[in-house]
Structure 1
Amino acid sequence: MSYSVGQVSAFAEVTVRTLHHYDKAGLLSPSGRSPAGYRLYSDTDLARLQQILFYRELGFPLDEIAAILKDPQANAVEHLRSRQRQLSEEIARLQQLAEAAERAIEVQQTGVSLTPQERFEVFGEITFDLSYAAQAEVKWAHSEGQHEAMARAAAHTKEDWRQLMGEAAVWRGELLAAFDEGEPSDGRRAMDLAEEHRLHISRWFTSCPPDMHRRIADDFCADPRAFALVVPPSQQRPGLAAYMCRSVHADAARHAGGRTHSEEHR
């Protein structure tokens, strides 16, 4: 039995344009033509189309589908197993992103009801980037510290946020002053400011040992969204993120009993 392009399009739920594309690509050419020259598909063609649509649904590219169908001896099972592994990994990644988005929304809401005016009064120019939060959740998915920080942040009251953001603003002013006055990043003043930042994280979010603090500081250099949580863009200076990163590393070395560059030249 033969079927026209329109009939195949209707019961296979694909567009006529798609069928023409498959024909042009050599993936599915109709077996016959009507006296008027119109394409006619046989039952064998439909079985092949069913295979193509199955592989397309699984996300296979057309060239790979063509390779599988071209060689009857090809091991389609191996292709399917490979695709199954890819899909499983993608499902796990999407699940992590969904969980991360849920936690990020909790933090964005801060656990309390704030009007836009109150939010500006508490957070000022500091904004919480949900895309960064989601990526951070995936990156630190197995970190107990990350989970604790998100949970504690979500539980903070409005007054908690006022206090911690007030502390952060005072600290930020001191950091900018040290940077503007040319204090060395591994000098005592800069290291003390780095230590204050570490203790601030421990006090309000999660225990932050020096090694964790170094990783956080590395993110400041690698991702502007991370540093914007500490210093809003309007207050940033070129090189400030790197300056803070160096001071954090110097402070961590001080904790480990190492000597900083400034100390070696005293």
Structure 2
Amino acid sequence: MAMRVKEVADLVGISVRTLHHYDEIGLLTPDETTESGYRLYSDNNLQMLQQILFFKELGFPLKKIKDIIKSPSFDQQEALELHRKMLLEKRHRLNKMIATVDKTIQHSKGEIQMTSKEKFEGFDFSHNPYEQEARQRWGDDAVDNANTKLGNMSKAEQEAMSEEMSAIYTKLAALRHESPASEESQAAINDWYDFLNKMGHYSLDAFKGLGQLYVDDKRFTKNIDGFGEGLAEFLRDAMAIYADKKRK
């Protein structure tokens, strides 16, 4: 049964505007359009939308997703199987990091003692074991956009990067009761912006959007607030102020 764009948006949890954008760039064009101009999405359209969102979850940019799914050699079943492998690996890494956050909370309360090594468990910047398979199937550019630049670092460099990230978060947590617009807060946020751009390219808009995600996605909020209650909201506000000022 065909569905209108608003029905699809409500079903999936994305905006009507996003679906319109996918149509405009030729990524997902509904199979039918009524005489009144209403877009009608078929079951096949919904299957392809699911595929697109799987690729997005793994970090693929829209342009590359379009190239992949429009290719005559694209195999949906094969893609789903590889998506599953990569998502399971991602879940494994996140579970380890969540466990580290939980231990850090206990450590900060004085309930347990953590070794220096334990503080950085889960911060694994090595390549996903299915990366080479993805490279062979969909090309280097797609995978390069789905991974960080940290993958080529030595173990020592990875540990140094983890320590730097922890230091930035610790500093930000100590500032979370201050004004996010203060000079000190903005200096710390600048360090966070520079750090993120060592791993990939973050525009000011993307940086601001990431800050909003810290609050909108409760999984992010829980992990970030493990460093200090209210830190996620502080980061959102400070990152928005930083981005807006830099654009002027």
Q: TM-score, normalised by structure 1?
A: 0.45
Question: TM-score, normalised on structure 2?
Answer: 0.48
